[in-house]
Amino acid sequence: MRLGLGTYAFRWSIGHKDQVPDVPMSALDVLEVAIGHGLSVVQFADNLPLHKLSNTELGALVSRARVAGVTLELGTQSFDVDQVRNYLEIGEKIGAPILRVALDGPDNEKPLEALAAEFVSLLPLARAKRIKIAVENHFDFPSDRLVALLRRIDDPQVGVCLDVANSICAGEWPAETVGRLAAHTINLHLKDYVIEPDPYGVGFRILGCPLGDGRTDCAAVLGAADYPDEMSVILEHWLPGYPDLSEARSKEAVWLARSVTYARSQLGLA
């Protein structure tokens, strides 16, 4: 397995919703961070969409990655046949082996047969581009439904992008999610979280933390299935926003460094 960086590790430095820095982090900036940490993969998610790059910017990104020996992956949010088709074209240009697709609320409301048929319509193109589609278990898309979708598609070109914490929002604890999805996984998003009681005793909050500081049983996740040897393990985190955006941005770099150190020293990921 290959250790990599996902762009959601720099949510605040790239800009998120109305929180956008004066000089947002670029795709090339993210790549340079990965190179600086000696990481071999960068996955560009929907918070830094590659279809918005010019041909010149995309070419510079690919050239730098090739020189550094870094594999580029890409991703989209919500399922749209035309957008996924466009991203398969972009994926071929950058040499991406994986296209991650995160399914959202509207995708959960669509009949499984119709959703599966849309995926199947893209399989010839995905095979031609030599890109596997990794469907992420997102907040509003339960794991059982994702497994049912894969069974209807029934093609090794499509698998799971397993995020170890996302499905808490869908009423699953991470061990349940991993148990249901690990056997189908071709791409892994690794993050950690803590549960903090409200200071007034009114419930609790689930918050992100650097890898190794929280409740994610990383060793159990990595041992849950016979994953593909070439599978990328992408580091992300749920760093909360702060009133001062610069504080959040500085913490992102610290959290990433700590997560990389933990992944290497405690999990044996290279």
Per-residue pLDDT of the chain (270 residues; tens, 9 = 90+): 999 999 999 999 999 999 999 999 999 999 999 999 999 999 999 999 999 999 999 999 999 999 999 999 999 988 889 999 999 999 999 999 999 999 877 887 889 999 999 999 999 999 999 999 999 998 888 899 999 999 999 999 999 999 999 999 889 999 999 999 999 999 999 999 999 999 899 999 999 999 999 999 999 999 999 999 999 999 999 999 888 899 999 999 999 999 999 999 999 998
pLDDT at 232: 98
Structure tokens at 155: 């093609």
Residue 253, pLDDT score:
97
Q: What is the spatial distance between Cα 46 and Cα 77, in angstroms, rounded to a whole number? A: 6
What pLDDT was estimated at residue 111? 93
How does pLDDT run across 100-122, given as a tens digit for each residue?
Answer: 999 877 887 889 999 999 999 99
Query: What's the whole-model pTM score?
Result: 0.96
Q: What is the pLDDT of residue 242?
A: 86
Assigned token pair, 176? 């349940």
Q: Which CATH number fits domain 2-265: 3.40.50.300, 3.20.20.150, 3.40.50.150, 3.30.210.10?
A: 3.20.20.150
Look at residues 148, 144, 238, 137 and name the one whose alpha carbon lies nearest to residue 188: 137
Pairing relationship of beta strands 132-136 and 71-77 according to DSSP bridges:
unpaired
228 is written with which tokens? 């593909």
Instruction: Give the SS3 label for residue 141.
Output: coil
Which amino acid belongs to residue 105?
A: G
Tell me, what's the pLDDT at 87?
98
Q: Which tokens sit at 244? A: 């001062």
From CA 124, how far away is CA 201, in angstroms rounded?
A: 54
For 56, other C-beta atoms within 10 Å of its C-beta total 8
DSSP state of 19: B
Identify the residue whose tokens are 């580091």: 235
Amino acid at 82: D
Classify residue 111 by its DSSP letter. Answer: -
Residue pair 245/13 in contact (Cβ under 8 Å)? The answer is: no
Give the three-class secondary structure for 209: strand
Q: Which of 16, 126, 149 is nearest to 74 (CA)?
A: 126
